[in-house]
C-alpha cells in the first residue's frame, strides 16, 4: 500500500516551519498593534451559510466547496473563506452589544476544490481581519493600512495596492446596465467564458483573466463615475486618508483600478487588492478585501456595516522565498547531553532534571563522541554537557558552549548547578 496526501494539500515539515511561524507571528503582532483580537470559528459550517453569505453565483459556491452530508443528515461544508463564519459568530454571540466596531482577526485553514498550481491549493491558509459595526471611511483606511503594514513588516517590497469603489446597491443597477450595454456592443470580440459571464454576472467580466477581454475592459464604463451621494463622499474621504498614509509610510502608494471588482457577491463601496508588482512566476493577489455592508442583513442579522480582508499565507511564503527574505530560524535546545561509556542513565536523569528546571534539553543518540558532537551542532544547541564514566564517578560534568568564543567549564553534576551555569552564560 502506498498512501499519498490528497491533491492540492501539503505536509508542512519541520524545516519549513520557520516560515509559517514567521507569517503567523507577524500577523498577530500587527493585528495587535491595530487593536484587533483573535477569533476562531469552526472548520466546518452549515452549507447554507456559505450559499447565502458567499453567494450562489460565485465560483466558490458553484464549483469550489467541499460539501457533504454528515451521519445525521446535515449538510456541511469545510469553510472556503472566513468572513461568513465571523459574521455568523458576530450575530450568534450578540457582539453588537460590544463597543463598535468589533475588530477581529483569524488565521486558519480554508478549503476550495481548485486546480492546484503554485500558490493555488485545495487546503490553504489565510490571515484575515474584519472590522464590524462602523461605516466610516477611517475604518476602510485602517484596514488597508493594516494589510500594508503586514506585508511591509514581512519585508515584502514592490507591492501594488489597487483600489476601487463599487458604490451602493441603489446606484449599481444603473452602472451594471451601462456596463452590460457596453460589453454587448463588443460581444463578438469576447471569448465564450466572458460572453457567459456577461449574462450571469456582468461585473465579473471586468476582472476576466482573458487578454482580449482585458483590453476591452480598460475602455469600459467605470463604477466610480456612477457613484453618488454618500457613497461618493465616502470614496473621496477614503482617497484623502490614503494620501495621508503616503506621508506616514514612505513606500506606500495606491492605484485606482476600475477593473477591480472582486469575486464575492456581498461587497459594496471599497474593494482593494495587494499584488506583487512583479507577477512573473508569482501567484497574483496576496491580500484581497473590501467593504461588505449588506452581508449581515443577508445572514439574518440587523444591518451592520463591515469591512475586512484576507491574505493567502502560502502566497506570502512563496514571495518571502522568491525575494530570499530572512525569517527567524527555529531555536535550538539550550543543552544537548552527550554520554559515553556507562553514563547513559546518568545522562537521561540529568536531561530530565534540566527540563524540570525549564532548560530545553535533548539527549544525543548513543554513538561516538564525534557523532554526538555533530548531532549537537545540527540541532543548533547552545551548549553540550559531556558525561563519561569518570565524570559520573567524580560528580563533575564538562559543559561546553557552542556559541561564539565557546568556552568550556567543569560544573558540579547536578541539574540545578548546570541549569544555573547555562542560563548565566546564555544571558551574557
Asked if residue 38 belongs to a known ligand binding site, the reply is no
Dist. CA 138–CA 118, nearest whole Å: 35
Dist. CA 399–CA 51, nearest whole Å: 63
CB nearer to ligand ATP: pick between 168 and 319: 319
Number of other CB atoms surrounding residue 181 within 10 Å: 11
Q: How far is the CB of 284 from ligand ATP (least distance, A)?
A: 5
Dist. CA 375–CA 362, nearest whole Å: 10
- Interacting residue with ligand ATP among 21, 155, 263, 344 (CB under 6 A): 263
Asked if residue 407 belongs to a known ligand binding site, the reply is no
**54 near ligand ATP, judged by CB under 6 A:** no
- Interacting residue with ligand ATP among 295, 310, 376, 413 (CB under 6 A): 310
In the three-class reduction of DSSP (H, G, I as helix; E, B as strand; rest coil), residue 337 is classed as strand
Cell numbers placing 229 = 451621494
Q: How far is the CB of 286 from ligand ATP (least distance, A)?
A: 5
Q: How far is the CB of 65 from ligand ATP (least distance, A)?
A: 12
Asked if residue 126 belongs to a known ligand binding site, the reply is yes
Q: Classify residue 16 by its DSSP letter.
A: G
Cell numbers placing 302 = 440587523
Asked if residue 81 belongs to a known ligand binding site, the reply is yes
Asked if residue 379 belongs to a known ligand binding site, the reply is no
**288 near ligand ATP, judged by CB under 6 A:** yes
Q: What's the gap between Cα 147 and its chain centre? A: 10
- Interacting residue with ligand ATP among 41, 85, 126, 401 (CB under 6 A): 126
CB nearer to ligand ATP: pick between 126 and 361: 126
Stretch that binds ligand ATP, among 100-108, 309-317, 353-361, 402-410 (CB under 6 A): 309-317
Q: How far is the CB of 132 from ligand ATP (least distance, A)?
A: 18
CB nearer to ligand ATP: pick between 166 and 340: 166
Stretch that binds ligand ATP, among 175-183, 246-254, 310-318, 361-369 (CB under 6 A): 310-318
Dist. CA 414–CA 357, nearest whole Å: 11
Stretch that binds ligand ATP, among 66-74, 225-233, 306-314, 381-389 (CB under 6 A): 306-314
DSSP per residue, 62-129: III-EEEE-TTS-EEEE-S-SHHHHHHHHHHTTGGGSSSSEEEEEEEEEE-----BTTB-SEEEEEEE
Q: How far is the CB of 266 from ligand ATP (least distance, A)?
A: 12
> x/- contact string, 64-83, with ligand ATP (CB under 6 A)?
-----------------x--
Asked if residue 262 belongs to a known ligand binding site, the reply is yes
Q: How far is the CB of 162 from ligand ATP (least distance, A)?
A: 12
CB nearer to ligand ATP: pick between 77 and 382: 77
Stretch that binds ligand ATP, among 34-42, 232-240, 312-320, 378-386 (CB under 6 A): 312-320
Number of other CB atoms surrounding residue 188 within 10 Å: 7
- Which contacts of 290-294 are long-range, i.e. CB under 8 A and separated by 24 or more positions? 290/166, 290/262, 291/140, 291/267, 292/83, 292/264, 292/266, 292/267, 292/268, 293/135, 293/168, 293/268, 293/269, 294/169, 294/266, 294/268
Q: What is the number of the residue whose Cβ is closest to ligand ATP?
A: 312
Residue pair 133/96 in contact (Cβ under 8 Å)? The answer is yes
Stretch that binds ligand ATP, among 22-30, 119-127, 222-230, 417-425 (CB under 6 A): 119-127
Considering only residues 313 through 332, tell me which ones interact with ligand ATP, judged by CB under 6 A: 314-315
Stretch that binds ligand ATP, among 304-312, 333-341, 387-395, 409-417 (CB under 6 A): 304-312
Dist. CA 262–CA 409, nearest whole Å: 63
**114 near ligand ATP, judged by CB under 6 A:** yes
**Beta-sheet pairing, 383-387 with 335-339:** parallel
Dist. CA 203–CA 266, nearest whole Å: 13
**Beta-sheet pairing, 383-387 with 396-401:** antiparallel
CB nearer to ligand ATP: pick between 144 and 399: 144
Looking up cell 495596492, which residue turns up?
A: 161
Asked if residue 5 belongs to a known ligand binding site, the reply is no
Hey, CA dihedral for 102, 105, 111, 113, is it positive or negative?
A: positive
CB nearer to ligand ATP: pick between 124 and 175: 124
Count the site residues for ligand ATP by CB under 6 A. Answer: 19
**285 near ligand ATP, judged by CB under 6 A:** yes
Residues found near ligand ATP in the complex (CB under 6 A)? 81, 112, 114, 119-121, 124, 126, 263, 284-288, 310-312, 314-315
Residue ranges of the annotated binding site for L-histidine are 81-83, 112, 126, 130, 262, 266-267
Amino acid at each position: 500500500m502506498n498512501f499519498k496526501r490528497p491533491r492540492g494539500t501539503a505536509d508542512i515539515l519541520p524545516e519549513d516551519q520557520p516560515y509559517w511561524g514567521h507569517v503567523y507571528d507577524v500577523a498577530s503582532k500587527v493585528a495587535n498593534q491595530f487593536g484587533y483580537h483573535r477569533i476562531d470559528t469552526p472548520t466546518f459550517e452549515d452549507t447554507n451559510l456559505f450559499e447565502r453569505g458567499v453567494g450562489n453565483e460565485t465560483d466558490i459556491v458553484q464549483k469550489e466547496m467541499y460539501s457533504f452530508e454528515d451521519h445525521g443528515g446535515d449538510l456541511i461544508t469545510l469553510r472556503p473563506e472566513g468572513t461568513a463564519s465571523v459574521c455568523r459568530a458576530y450575530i450568534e454571540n450578540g457582539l453588537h452589544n460590544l463597543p463598535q466596531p468589533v475588530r477581529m482577526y483569524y488565521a486558519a485553514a480554508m478549503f476550495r476544490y481548485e486546480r492546484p498550481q503554485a500558490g493555488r491549493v485545495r487546503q490553504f491558509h489565510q490571515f484575515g481581519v474584519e472590522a464590524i459595526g462602523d461605516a466610516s471611511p477611517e475604518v476602510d483606511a485602517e484596514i488597508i493600512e493594516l494589510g500594508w503594514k503586514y506585508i511591509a513588516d514581512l519585508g515584502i517590497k514592490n507591492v501594488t495596492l489597487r483600489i476601487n469603489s463599487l458604490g451602493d446597491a441603489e446606484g449599481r443597477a444603473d452602472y451594471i446596465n451601462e456596463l452590460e450595454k457596453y460589453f454587448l456592443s463588443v460581444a463578438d470580440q469576447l471569448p465564450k467564458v466572458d460572453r457567459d459571464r456577461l449574462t450571469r454576472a456582468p461585473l465579473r467580466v471586468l476582472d476576466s483573466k482573458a487578454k482580449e477581454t482585458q483590453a476591452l475592459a480598460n475602455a469600459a464604463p467605470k463604477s466610480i463615475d456612477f457613484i453618488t451621494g454618500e457613497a461618493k463622499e465616502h470614496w473621496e474621504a477614503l482617497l484623502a486618508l490614503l494620501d495621508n498614509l503616503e506621508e506616514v509610510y514612505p513606500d506606500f502608494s495606491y492605484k485606482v483600478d476600475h477593473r477591480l471588482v472582486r469575486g464575492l457577491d456581498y461587497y459594496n463601496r471599497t474593494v482593494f487588492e495587494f499584488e506583487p508588482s512583479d507577477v512573473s512566476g508569482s501567484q497574483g493577489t496576496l491580500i484581497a478585501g473590501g467593504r461588505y455592508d449588506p452581508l449581515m442583513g443577508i445572514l439574518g442579522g440587523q444591518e451592520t456595516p463591515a469591512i475586512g480582508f484576507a491574505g493567502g499565507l502560502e502566497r506570502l511564503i512563496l514571495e518571502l522565498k522568491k525575494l530570499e527574505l530572512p525569517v527567524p530560524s527555529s531555536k535550538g535546545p539550550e543543552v544537548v547531553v552527550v554520554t559515553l561509556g556507562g553514563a547513559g542513565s546518568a545522562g537521561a536523569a540529568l536531561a530530565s532534571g534540566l527540563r524540570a528546571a525549564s532548560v530545553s534539553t535533548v539527549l544525543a543518540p548513543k554513538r561516538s563522541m564525534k557523532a554526538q558532537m555533530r548531532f549537537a551542532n545540527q540541532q543548533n544547541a547552545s551548549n553540550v554537557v559531556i558525561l563519561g564514566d569518570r565524570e559520573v564517578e567524580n560528580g563533575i560534568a564538562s559543559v561546553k558552549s557552542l556559541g561564539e568564543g565557546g568556552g568550556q567549564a567543569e560544573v558540579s553534576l547536578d541539574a540545578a548547578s548546570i541549569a544555573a551555569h547555562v542560563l548565566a552564560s546564555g544571558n551574557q
